[in-house]
Structure 1
Amino acid sequence: MYDPLVHSSIEQGVSYPASYWSANTSLQSLGTSLQHDINTDVVVVGAGYTGLSCAYQLAAQFSREVTVIEANNTGWGCSGRNAGFVLRGTGRLGLSQLSKKFGLDTAKLFHQEYGAGIAQVHRMIAEGNIVCEPQPSGYLKVAHTAKLGRDLPVQAEYLQRNFSYPVQYVSADQLKRDYMQNTQAFGAIRFPDCFGVNPMALAQGYASLAKQSGVVAYTGTPVLQWRQQPKGFIEVQTPSATVRCKQLIFATNGYTPKNLFPQLNNACLPVLSSVIVTQPLNAEQLEVSGLNHTQLVMDTRALKYYYRKLPDNRLLFGGRSAVHGKDATKPIYPARLLNALKACFPMLESLRYDYHWSGWVAVSYDDLPRVCEAQPNVFYSAGYCGSGVSFSTLAGLRLAQLAMGHGLPALPLYQSSLRPFPLPGFRRIGQQAFYQWGRFKDHFLS
């Protein structure tokens, strides 16, 4: 599997992973490979949520000539591999953590901006009439120990009082009665505005919107290198052509090859997230497990598990995977996920999985993403930490505004570039140490 900490360039023209999404989505090619030199106003590298949203906004709102360049195809990276969780947030810091770090007033601005992210997803779905199977809203943050469950009422009250966020505390008994017979669930907080989608269909819809607005896209076309020219132009080199542009926007996030943009690669830790999708649950299995709802679910572990019931009654269940890309397809990782699912729901012991795949998420050093101008007329957005479906859509809009010289909300997300990891060559060693600590913490300290 392609590994951005190992490979100097991304693979070209690789097919989609054998995921549930690729098997159950009508896939259309955004374009063909670039075979001739061109000039354009803006080059956007990457045809995922960020890049497609940015390209669409630049063309539709600002009448810019925009060219999207993608090494493979629409949504080939994380945008087509994620679990389809449209959450109100990004990064790994919750509102209480943001309050401690930046103050309550700034945390309230974060909350507003995260709400704007969900609204932007809804807006683009409506504008493009995107058929992406949005499910009724609701997200359950589930305490995986009794100790953590006792803290939930205080957390819910904090969010209600300080952010006017109408979350709901769900007791352990209510959780079992109304939502699930999870033996490792001790209460939850329910967030009312989050929802699930088919993420690949969402990416395909964004691509159609961009194309309709006049964006020109080339797939199967990796960027090999780029350089700024003395007269203000930027020259982008692909395998068969050269592109000259005025502005260059990287929307590659966790898939940025190590030699393409070292400043960005060194500021992200690519982490594999792995997903299984089970066989459809029958009526009896749905009844005994209590999983007769469409709520998104994520637990409170340091190494979190997340899951949801899909429209065809399959369970999607995900968590952390291998450390190195070369190990991503080893059968131990889907087996671990299936065992974890059955540890939560022992009544589903006979359940098997039909799909397994992995994808890279980009973890930033300070657990927050950035949208920035890295150097004159070169921009990027990255570091969503595995929680980027809604924010990456909004980040595309913010990138477009930034490229056009518009001011952005007064948030740390927009005021600096990503901080590089200290000793970036040792990122994987640090990741392995964190995984060991996380397993110890989840088992003994939670």
Structure 2
Amino acid sequence: MYDPLVDSDIGVAMPYPASYWATTEVVNRHATPYNKLSTDIDTDVVVIGGGYTGLSCAYQLASHFSREVTLLEANQIGWGCSGRNAGFVLRGTGRLGLAQLSEKFGLDIAKGFHQEYSAALALVGQMIDSGNIDCQRQQTGYLKVAHKAALVESLRQQATYLQQQFGYQAEFLPAQALTERYMQNSQAYGALRFDDCYGVNPLALALGYARMATETGAKLYSATPVLSWQRSRSGGFVLQTPEATVRCKQLVLATNGYTPNRFYPALNKACLPVLSSIIVTSPLTEQQLAHSGLWHNQLVMDTRALKYYYRKLPDNRILFGGRSAVYGKDAEQPVYPRRLLQALTNCFPMLEGVCTDYHWSGWVAVSIDDLPRVCQAEPDLFYAAGYCGSGLSFSTQAGKRLAQLCMGQALPALPLYQGPLKPFPLPALRRVGQQAYYQWGRFSDRFL
């Protein structure tokens, strides 16, 4: 499997991974082939990367600012994380909650984060509605589940804190209420429920964004990797693709966890690509649904250091995900889907014997301080990255903010928008640190 910490070549026109999403009727019905770029062009802005960030940026630039914008994608639209994720439209990004943000930056800044997260959720909903995107949007609800009894009180305190300091009506669910309303999970002792998050088909959403971008005048090209780029002596940038040269005034890097090795060293050294792996089961029977309590469409994530996340899909399959291999070359090893299936049945013993019909993996980009950045890294060069695996809603907002940066507009005074990502110390040892964290996480989740 392609590994952005190792490989400089991301491939050309690679097919989608063998994911559940790529087989769905809604994706097959709306998939639009995009041509590769085969002639030299000049354009105002080039966006590299055909995921949520790049597509949102291209759409905003074309529709709201009437810019001539060209998006270049090496493989297929939504081939990277945008077409591989679990489809969790969540409130937030990075790995820091509002209490942690308040402690680090102060309550007023934390309230600014809260407002920005609300705007991100609203933007995704607006895009779905205005673009009439058929992405299998499910009913709202997200459960943060305590996997140990000792963590229940912390969730209760989080609910009170969110209600009192932010006016956000998060609901605390003790174990009995969680069991009666949502699940018969043997490793669930209580939960915090968020009422405005929901599930979607993430690849269908990306394809919908692409259609909206093209309808407003953006030019999208697939099978068009950028082999090299440099600044032009006359200003702007010159990019080389396999069959064409592209000249532009501004350049946006929307590659996040799929930034090839050495493509832009300042960004490469500031992100740790981490594999997340997903299985999708065979459809559950009515008896299995009844015994597990998983009739609902709530998104679920637990409180483990190495988190598990899951949801019921429209055809009654269970999507279940978690951390995977450290190196891309190991991603397809059968041990990883077996571990995920075992974790699922540990939580829901009544599902013993259910089969895994799909397994795939994808890269998320982790930053050193657990927060992403949207920035102008150099004159006329912009990027957004470091969502830490929680980027579906915020990456859409990040695309909008990138477009505003390209137009010289000021962004909210939040740390997200006040400079580039910080590089990792000793970046060559990032995966050594990752392996150590995984060992600690397994110990912590079991014994602490």
Please classify the TM superposition score into its range, dividing by the shorter chain length. over 0.9
Deviating beyond 4 angstroms after TM superposition, the runs of 4 or more aligned structure 1 residues are none
Q: Distance in 1 between matches of 2:370 and 2:420?
A: 13
Q: CA deviation at 1:8?
A: 1.4
Q: Distance in 2 between matches of 1:87 and 1:314?
A: 21
Q: CA deviation at 1:30?
A: 4.8
Identity %: 67
Q: Secondary structure at the match of 1:161?
A: helix
Q: Is the 8 A contact 1:92 1:368 kept in 2?
A: yes
- The reply on whether 1:11 has 2:14 as its aligned counterpart is no
Could you report, residue by residue, the CA deviation over 1:231-277 in whole angstroms, capped at 9, with x for unpaired residues?
Answer: 21200111111100000000000000112111111110000000000
2:359 aligns to what?
A: 356
From 271, 280, 289, the equivalent of 1:286 is: 289
Listed as ranges, the gaps of 5+ residues in structure 2 are none
From 303, 306, 310, the equivalent of 1:303 is: 306
* Aligned amino acid, residue 329 of structure 1: E
Listed as ranges, the gaps of 5+ residues in structure 1 are none
From 117, 123, 127, the equivalent of 2:126 is: 123
Could you report, residue by residue, the CA deviation over 1:263-301 in whole angstroms, capped at 9, with x for unpaired residues?
Answer: 111110000000000000110000000001010000000
Could you report, residue by residue, the CA deviation over 1:144-175 in whole angstroms, capped at 9, with x for unpaired residues?
Answer: 00000122211110110001011100010110
* Aligned amino acid, residue 276 of structure 2: S
2:107 aligns to what?
A: 104
Could you report, residue by residue, the CA deviation over 1:325-367 in whole angstroms, capped at 9, with x for unpaired residues?
Answer: 0000000000000000000000110111100000000000100
2:47 aligns to what?
A: 44
1:420 aligns to what?
A: 423
* 1:40-439 pair list within 5 angstroms: 40-439=43-442
Q: Secondary structure at the match of 2:42?
A: strand
* Aligned amino acid, residue 91 of structure 2: R
Q: Distance in 1 between matches of 2:356 and 2:172?
A: 32
Deviates more, 1:339-348 or 1:221-230: 221-230
Q: Distance in 2 between matches of 1:20 and 1:3?
A: 22
Q: Distance in 2 between matches of 1:150 and 1:219?
A: 49
CA RMSD of aligned residues (A): 0.7
Q: Is the 8 A contact 2:236 2:380 kept in 1?
A: no
Q: Is the 8 A contact 1:363 1:384 kept in 2?
A: yes
Q: Distance in 2 between matches of 1:286 and 1:106?
A: 43
Deviates more, 1:308-317 or 1:7-16: 7-16
Q: Distance in 2 between matches of 1:250 and 1:439?
A: 35
Q: CA deviation at 1:188?
A: 0.2
- TM-score relative to the length of structure 2: 0.99
Deviates more, 1:28-37 or 1:311-320: 28-37
- TM-score relative to the length of structure 1: 0.99
* Aligned amino acid, residue 437 of structure 1: W
Q: Is the 8 A contact 1:30 1:217 kept in 2?
A: no
